[in-house]
Amino acid sequence: MRIFKFGGASVKDAAGVKNVFNVLQKVGHQDVLLVVSAMGKTTNALELVIKNYSEKSNEFHASLQDVRKYHNQILLDLFDDEEHDVFFAVNSHFADLEYFLRSNKSPNYNFVYDQVISYGELVSTTIISHYFNAMGLPNEWIDVRNLIKTDASYRDANVDWEKTQQNIVKNLKKKSLYITQGFLGSDENNFTTTLGREGSDYSAAIFAYSLNAESVTIWKDVPGVMNADPRYFDHAGLLHHISYKEAIELAFYGASVIHPKTLQPLQRKEIPLHVKSFIEPLLPGTVVSKGADLDPKTSCFIVKKNQLLLSLSSIDFSFIMEENISEIFMLLHKYKIKVSLIQNTAISFTICIEDTFNHFEDLRAQLSKKFKVAYNENVSLYTIRHFTPEAASRVEQDKTILVKQISRETLQVVTKE
């Protein structure tokens, strides 16, 4: 089986849905599992719904209606008959969502987040499945929450691989076309969980691992994996082949094309990962596979915006030793704050962090009890893999360098622009 993952940009409107259908006509659809994200910016729109709901804002109902109207317009653009079953199916999803929002008693924001945010994927895959059927392409819609089982770490759930594998192998047997949701799973009580933001790539890898798939293809609006993000660098070029090791390094440092969790399960079974263009699907794109290292090694540029540079120093000028560092990392883990760079001296400890869940103020309050705390907001972290002096100069030009760190293969700089 081949696993295809289509992200929100590929299905942002009716034209996008039609294009996915056309891609399958060109590359084949037999023995294929489609993993699909929410349409366009639906996840952001549902995050606004959740925010308004939690804050009891007067904008709550309007923000929810905006999500319904957006999907209804896509339906009207795809289906001539408003009596088509797809309208009932989509309305049923929104009715379930509204019922949850009316009846929920849980004060747990992360729990509420996962129950609400999931409707983006449920609705998008429902629309696509019905459209494909209407176009004469039979498929089976699968609720991924019945297959991928996780713990109850809402918004960043950990997969129960044994149960998940059993479910997938048991339920996906026919050599046909399946359509399911990315990003989602469920806990032992069957409440919806999510696998972390942009986790649809990871979902595709979970299916591939469980099914011993032939390959995974991530369909993007770019030709493949670039050596730099063209939004920030004007010299971006296509990388045709990358090893798992190199791809994992790039993902760790923040390359946005491949989700960090995606590569480990694929590497374990040596399942190749293709990154291809849904605009020009017959182009070769990039392949990530065993032993296909960068040759020659090309400088790869990664930038992470909106980071925090946090500097801690001891109050009494004592050394910051292993015991202190252990305590700091326990707090970082507690508040789910990702560390991207570390630098320390005898009495100071500096880290560049990413506050995905807006817990920095809680972290700072805890750290201030034992350390002097200084920080810079909205800094950028630039990483160059296989750097050269010319590459370094290109990144550092016209920027204020706050921290610089060099290893054999990698240069990292934290800048204030």
What residue type is 164 in one-letter code?
A: T
Name the residue with tokens 């959740």. 50
Phi, psi of 301 (to 5 degrees): -110, 130
- Please tell me the distance from the alpha carbon of residue 205 to that of residue 255, in angstroms, as a whole number: 17
User: Could you give the angle at the alpha carbon of 157 between the alpha carbons of 125 and 330, nearest 5°?
Assistant: 150
Cβ contacts of 415 within 8 Å, gap of 6 or more:
379, 380, 382, 396, 399, 400, 401, 402
| Phi/psi-derived region of residue 108, left when phi > 0, alpha when psi is between -120 and 50, beta in every other case | beta
Q: Is 394 annotated as a binding residue?
A: no
- Please tell me the distance from the alpha carbon of residue 335 to that of residue 330, in angstroms, as a whole number: 9
- Please tell me the distance from the alpha carbon of residue 289 to that of residue 276, in angstroms, as a whole number: 14
CA pseudo-torsion sign 9, 194, 205, 171: negative
- Please tell me the distance from the alpha carbon of residue 292 to that of residue 190, in angstroms, as a whole number: 41
What residue type is 349 in one-letter code?
A: F
- Please tell me the distance from the alpha carbon of residue 313 to that of residue 387, in angstroms, as a whole number: 31
Single out the residue of 140, 116, 144 nearest to residue 128, CA to CA: 140
> What spatial distance separates the first Cα and last Cα of the chain, rounded to whole Å?
47
Neighbours of 233 (CB within 10 A): 17
β-sheet bridge partners, residue 310: 351, 375
User: Could you give the angle at the alpha carbon of 44 between the alpha carbons of 40 and 103, nearest 5°?
Assistant: 115
Helix, strand, or coil here: 164? helix
Question: Residues at the annotated binding site?
Answer: 231
> Annotated binding site for ATP: which residue ranges?
231
